[in-house]
Structure 1
Amino acid sequence: MADWTGSDLAEIGAAEELALRSERPDGTLRAPVTMWVVRSGDRVYVRSVKGTGGPWYRGTQSRRQGHIEAGGVDRDVAFREADPGEYTDVDAAYRDKYGRYTTIIDNVLTDRARDSTLRLEPR
Structure 2
Amino acid sequence: MTALRNWTERELAQISASAELTIAVPRRDGGWRAAVPIWVVTAGGSVYVRTWRRRETGWYGGALRSGEARVTVPGLEVHVSVTDVSGDPAVRAAVDDAYRRKYGGGSGSDTVSGTVTDDAARTTLRLSPRA
| The two structures share one fold, judged by TM-score above 0.5 | yes
Letter in 2 for 1:91: D
Q: How far apart are the structure 2 equivalents of 1:4 and 1:112?
A: 28
- Residue 94 of structure 1 contacts residue 105 of structure 1 at CA under 8 Å; is this kept in 2? yes
1:97-112 matches, within 5 Å, as 97-100=102-105, 101-112=108-119
Partner of 2:7: 4
1:1-123 matches, within 5 Å, as 1-49=4-52, 51-53=53-55, 55-82=58-85, 83-85=87-89, 86-100=91-105, 101-123=108-130
- TM-score after normalising by structure 1: 0.93
Aligned residue for 2:80, secondary structure, equals: strand
CA RMSD, Structure 1 to Structure 2 (Å): 1.2
The count of corresponding residues between Structure 1 and Structure 2 is: 122
Q: Post-superposition, which runs of at least 4 consecutive aligned residues in structure 1 deviate over 6 A?
A: none
Deviation at 1:62, TM superposition (A): 2.1
- Listed one character per residue, the Cα deviations across residues 28-68 of structure 1 (whole Å, up to 9, x for unaligned) are 1111110100000210000001x211632112122110100
- Listed one character per residue, the Cα deviations across residues 90-123 of structure 1 (whole Å, up to 9, x for unaligned) are 0000000000122101110111110000000001
Q: How far apart are the structure 1 equivalents of 2:124 and 2:111?
A: 17
Q: How far apart are the structure 2 equivalents of 1:66 and 1:27?
A: 12
Q: Which moved more, 1:67-76 or 1:111-120?
A: 67-76
Deviation at 1:26, TM superposition (A): 3.2
Q: How far apart are the structure 2 equivalents of 1:10 and 1:42?
A: 10
- TM-score after normalising by structure 2: 0.87
> What is the identity percentage for the equivalent residue pairs of Structure 1 and Structure 2?
36
Q: How far apart are the structure 1 equivalents of 2:98 and 2:30?
A: 32
- Residue 14 of structure 1 contacts residue 71 of structure 1 at CA under 8 Å; is this kept in 2? no
Letter in 2 for 1:52: R
Q: How far apart are the structure 1 equivalents of 2:122 and 2:83?
A: 12
- Listed one character per residue, the Cα deviations across residues 50-91 of structure 1 (whole Å, up to 9, x for unaligned) are x21163211212211010001321110111111422000000
